[in-house]
Amino acid sequence: MTPKLHKVICFLPLCLFTFLPSHAQFRLNFGSDSPLRKLQIAEMAITNLYVDSVDEQKLVEDGIRGMLEKMDPHSSYTTVKETKAMSESLNGSFEGIGVQFNMQADTLLVIQTIVNGPSEKVGILAGDRIVTVNDSAIAGVKMPREEILKRLRGKKGTKVKLGIVRRGIKDDLIFTVTRDKIPVKTIDGYYMIRPGIGYIRIGSFGATTYKEFMTCVKELQSKGMTDLILDLQENGGGYLQAAVDIANEFLQKKDLIVYTEGRKVRRHEYHAKGNGSLLTGKVVVLINEFSASAAEIVTGAIQDQDRGTVVGRRSFGKGLVQRPVEFPDGSMMRLTVAHYFTPSGRCIQKPYKKGDKREYEMELDDRYKHGELYSADSIHFDDSTRYATLRRHRTVYGGGGIMPDVFVPLDTTQFTKLHRQLAAKSIIMNSNLKYVDVHRKQLKKQYPTFDKFLSTFEIPQTVVNEIIAEGKKQKIKPQDETELKKTLPYLKTQLKALVARDLWDMSEYFQIMNEQNHIVMRALQEINK
């Protein structure tokens, strides 16, 4: 379970859309018999004649949403605010004060400041609590999170006055922060997992992903990396071009990476240039049921070209391409215009009924109920979806996600019901925040390096006891001693990883958690064969 940090100014879910650049021209027909004319007359009549007042803007937006709801599950409309938030996530930067934070007891607690960011430059530290913004209280007043973020955000160059409470200092501290562009990282973590074996986890595919990826590759190669584990678990996708650029690093010249084709979109192929920096060495790609879109493009290309091994569980199955259609007010419609196909010709879009988004959204739940997450034998592919890889002619299947070469079931002994309930109520996260907040200086002094922390730190039993006690207060109890016994090893590892994340960064978090990740461990076995 990956912890979620909030990066001021906003925290966004991963985007499931793959965008195509727009070059097509289309003509609007407003003839007397045109459906568009009919729609225009209806809007004008409702606005001018309806018995009650009507919000014309909302009326039009509801009309657009109504049309898209009858289509595929990925065509959608976003308001100006939603579009801006999504663009910040994908374009690789936003404008803010530059801190990672979590909310603790109705107070914004700074987890880390962005290196060389505006907050770090004025002296704000990890562990600080932001209690006022421009002399207005944001702590202890039950202010909605969205309102707090709104007050912290602002254009580059504008100033904001922050009131800070710092442990060990009696009076509040006042800092004036000049907002700036803050980079949004799409690489969750990277490190040398074993001698000669690098590990890179990509969280999403945005405008800066390829540049970030190459920086990681060069650093790992300087440390002796010859083989790579590319972790795309829970990667919801993003930009098509970012996926193509990364796949290019692994494939030989003229190797097909992906192609797109639709009713009004001619077939367009993307080929490798042969100039990649990862053309040799073993590659293992990790996926699970939340890997989608651009993540599936990279996975499909490496699998179909027999460049590496895919380990994990069947991916989400999003093979639809959206083209952004921008409106003058800044809102946007993302319209599905094509399917994308892997090099072997597979369309991996899972089946759907037009207009039935609920059934589509419940498909992952159905996988769980049918036992697919626990046994590869429960997955049945139609022979009509059978394809062959391009070099070794291995059998692969389309028709709904990418099936890994090596299936790794979900381990119920790690993710017990007790653990899921404690996590869902944020009891684990809140206990970690409290522990690090109280002991941050002591921990930094005792563990000046991550290597020392990794080899010697153990989460105090008192923290575990507090979590179990808080769970009981909220009526979360283990079914029996056996369940508690199964829960504790993973819980302690997770807590240690969360402490490492708060003292260092996400790479250190994954360095600890991956030793308990069965998919990652199986990837190491594949490389060592």
Active site residues: 293, 304, 318
| Residue 264 token pair | 């009004």
Task: Identify the CA nearest to 104 among candidates 168, 151, 167, 176.
Answer: 167
Beta strand 283-287 with 227-231 is: parallel
Angle between helices 481-503 and 461-473 (to 10 degrees): 120
| DSSP sequence for 428-487 | HHHHHHHHHHHHHHHHHHH-SSHHHHHHH----HHHHHHHHHHHHHTT---SSHHHHHHH
| Residue 271 token pair | 């080929």
CA separation for the pair 373, 410 (Å, rounded): 6
Q: CB–CB of 424/471 below 8 Å?
A: no
Q: CB–CB of 268/241 below 8 Å?
A: no
Angle between helices 481-503 and 506-513 (to 10 degrees): 150
Beta strand 197-202 with 227-231 is: parallel
Bridge-partner residues for 77, per DSSP? 333
CA separation for the pair 284, 201 (Å, rounded): 12
Task: Identify the CA nearest to 94 among candidates 150, 10, 203.
Answer: 10
| DSSP sequence for 232-301 | -TT---B-HHHHHHHHHTTS-TT-EEEEEE-SSS--EEEE--S--S-SSS-EEEEE-TT--THHHHHHHH
DSSP annotation of 205 reads B
CA separation for the pair 375, 370 (Å, rounded): 9
Contacts of 467 (CB under 8 A, 6+ apart): 422, 427, 428, 431, 491
Task: Identify the CA nearest to 237 among candidates 348, 346, 114.
Answer: 348
CA separation for the pair 402, 288 (Å, rounded): 9
Using only C-alpha atoms, what is the Rg of the chain?
Answer: 25
CA separation for the pair 276, 280 (Å, rounded): 10
